[in-house]
């Protein structure tokens, strides 16, 4: 007989893993609702064109795509933003602005499974649509910080790094790069520290029409920007105005001021490496990283003011971010942080025998209707085995219905941890008495 296994890059969630996942989702939902975001969802299966329109035909290599029985090219969603754009565009005229929505959903990408990256994963997505100013960027960053703190990380264990694509546009113009070549350079800057200097020069030379001397001087100039940032300079420092317009500096200043007022400025730092090489980003971009350890990336996002126009024909400015569950869960496990426990019943009913089963089931239904979690044996078993089952499932109380208790209209309550017992009348006050024992 063959044994079936899950497909590569997909996970099973046994009760322990499912409890950890649900605790993470609960933390994220709590953070989003505290910040005034409301939840939405969208289909897992979408038209293929929705994703190729956003990311180009090359995205198809990363998709689980097929033609459905209706002859439609479809794909499992690799991200939520295109679906969000479709939903908002459909009701843009009736939605209150700004739109502050979040979702927690499963995404799928056909890529090689590796540490922190699987083919099936969950993402917490949060977006603000309809507000062009840095107040929306600050609000998204505030939610990102709250979400990471809520799931168990501490202040000194992560940071949010921020840059602005307009900063690099002004910087590169200052270095003499023609405006029509800047967009092709941003993906190179995005991968700067993960690439070899020779490879960087080759890519820059390709952007600059094969001019290797110009490519080398451009590489040195860009590296100088990174070096200055490491030394502590930031857009707060006046000398950055020499290479960026006063408008960009003012925008940074407003963002920093809002982050200070929100009490999270210490979580955020300027970092020119945060470019987000995807072409649809238009302004601020930000990423959260682990501090120390492997310095892994935990989340990322930014402003994408033109994407809704492209996907849905609606001109709405937008900013948002996504956090993946795989990387965050891996980090919390490494830090040995509690991730949630399997649900345990409040009460386990210990049933004397078949004659007592009817009253016991009626009591179980009554207690469950009152909101208590109740379990009981599905077949007749000896008392010792039932108490063992109550202990194994983690019940806090055992409620005993033996022949004598049922005959007198009573139940016996046993605290599983302390072993203490008490006998009470089985009447309308029982629920309240059990709640008092559970405090």
pLDDT tops 60 at residue 396? yes
Per-residue model confidence as pLDDT tens digits over 22-64? 999 999 999 999 999 999 999 999 999 999 988 889 899 999 9
Q: In DSSP terms, which residues pair with 410 in a beta bridge? A: 425
pLDDT recorded at residue 86: 92
Average pLDDT over every residue of 153-167: 91
pLDDT recorded at residue 115: 86
DSSP 142: H
Average pLDDT over every residue of 247-267: 85
More confident residue, 150 or 174: 150
- 184's CB contacts (< 8 A; 6+ apart) are 207
pLDDT tops 60 at residue 247? no
Backbone angles phi, psi at 163, to 5 degrees: -145, -175
Per-residue model confidence as pLDDT tens digits over 177-216? 888 888 888 888 888 888 888 899 999 999 888 888 898 9
pLDDT recorded at residue 103: 98
pLDDT recorded at residue 338: 85
Joined together, the tokens standing for residue 308 give: 């809704």
Rounded to 10°, the helix 48-55/81-90 angle is 110
Supply the mean pLDDT for the chain.
91
Asked if residues 346 and 397 have their Cβ atoms less than 8 Å apart, the reply is yes
Distance of CA 141 to the CA centre of its chain: 13
pLDDT recorded at residue 28: 98
Spatial separation of the C-alpha atoms in residues 66 and 90, rounded to whole Å: 25
Spatial separation of the C-alpha atoms in residues 273 and 241, rounded to whole Å: 18
Cite the beta strand spans of 291-370 per DSSP E: 297-303, 318-324, 347-351
Joined together, the tokens standing for residue 25 give: 């989702």
Instruction: Name all domains of the chain by residue range, CATH numbers in brackets.
Output: 15-334 (3.30.930.10), 347-438 (3.40.50.800)
pLDDT tops 60 at residue 234? no
DSSP, residue by residue, 204-241: HHHHTTT-HHHHHHHHHHHHHHHHHHHTT--TTSGGGG
Cite the beta strand spans of 95-209 per DSSP E: 99-108, 120-129, 158-164
More confident residue, 118 or 166: 118
Q: How far is CA 221 from CA 100, 148, 243, 277, in A?
A: 39, 35, 11, 19
Confidence of residue 245 (pLDDT cuts 50, 70, 90): very low
Please report which helix (H) or strand (E) contains residue 423, including its range: strand 421-425
Spatial separation of the C-alpha atoms in residues 346 and 435, rounded to whole Å: 9
Asked if residues 48 and 74 have their Cβ atoms less than 8 Å apart, the reply is yes
Confidence of residue 144 (pLDDT cuts 50, 70, 90): very high
- 171's CB contacts (< 8 A; 6+ apart) are 225, 243, 244
CA proximity to 50, closest of 25, 86, 6: 86
């Amino acid at each position: 007989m063959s044994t079936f296994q899950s497909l590569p890059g997909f996970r099973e969630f046994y009760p322990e893993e499912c409890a950890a996942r649900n605790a993470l989702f609960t933390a994220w939902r709590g953070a989003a609702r505290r910040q005034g975001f409301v939840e939405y969802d969208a289909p897992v299966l979408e038209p293929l064109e929705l994703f190729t329109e956003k990311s180009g035909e090359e995205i198809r290599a990363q998709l689980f795509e097929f033609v459905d029985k209706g002859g439609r090219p479809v794909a499992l969603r690799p991200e939520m933003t295109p679906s969000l754009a479709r939903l908002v565009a459909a009701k843009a005229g009736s939605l209150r602005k700004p739109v502050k929505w979040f979702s927690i959903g499963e995404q799928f990408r056909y890529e090689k499974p590796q540490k922190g990256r699987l083919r099936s994963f969950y993402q917490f997505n949060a977006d603000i649509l309809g507000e062009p100013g840095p107040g929306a960027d600050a609000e998204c960053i505030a939610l990102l910080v709250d979400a990471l703190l809520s799931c168990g990380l501490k202040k000194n264990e992560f940071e949010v790094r921020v840059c602005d694509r307009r900063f690099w546009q002004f910087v590169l113009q200052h270095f003499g790069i023609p405006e029509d070549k800047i967009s092709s350079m941003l993906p190179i800057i995005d991968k700067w520290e993960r690439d070899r200097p020779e490879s960087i020069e080759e890519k820059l030379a390709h952007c600059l029409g094969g001019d290797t001397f110009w490519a080398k001087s451009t590489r040195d100039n860009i590296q100088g920007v990174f070096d200055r940032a490491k030394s502590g300079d930031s857009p707060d420092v006046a000398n950055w105005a020499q290479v960026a317009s006063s408008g960009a500096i003012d925008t940074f200043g407003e963002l920093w001021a809002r982050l200070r007022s929100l009490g999270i400025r210490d979580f955020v730092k300027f970092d020119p490496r945060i470019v987000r090489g995807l072409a649809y980003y238009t302004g601020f971009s930000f990423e959260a990283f682990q501090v120390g350890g492997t310095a892994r990336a935990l989340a990322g996002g930014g402003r994408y003011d033109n994407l809704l126009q492209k996907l849905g024909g609606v001109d709405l400015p937008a900013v948002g971010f996504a956090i993946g569950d795989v990387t965050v869960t891996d980090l919390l496990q490494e830090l040995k942080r509690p991730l949630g426990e399997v649900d345990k019943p409040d009460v386990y009913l210990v049933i004397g025998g078949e004659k007592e089963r009817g009253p016991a089931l009626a009591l179980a239904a009554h207690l469950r209707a009152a909101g208590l979690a109740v379990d009981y044996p599905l077949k007749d078993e000896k008392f010792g085995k039932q108490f063992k089952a109550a202990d194994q499932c983690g019940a806090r109380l055992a409620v005993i219905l033996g022949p004598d208790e049922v005959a007198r209209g009573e139940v016996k309550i046993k605290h599983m941890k302390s072993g203490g017992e008490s006998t009470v009348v089985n009447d309308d006050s029982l629920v309240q008495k059990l709640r008092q024992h559970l405090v």
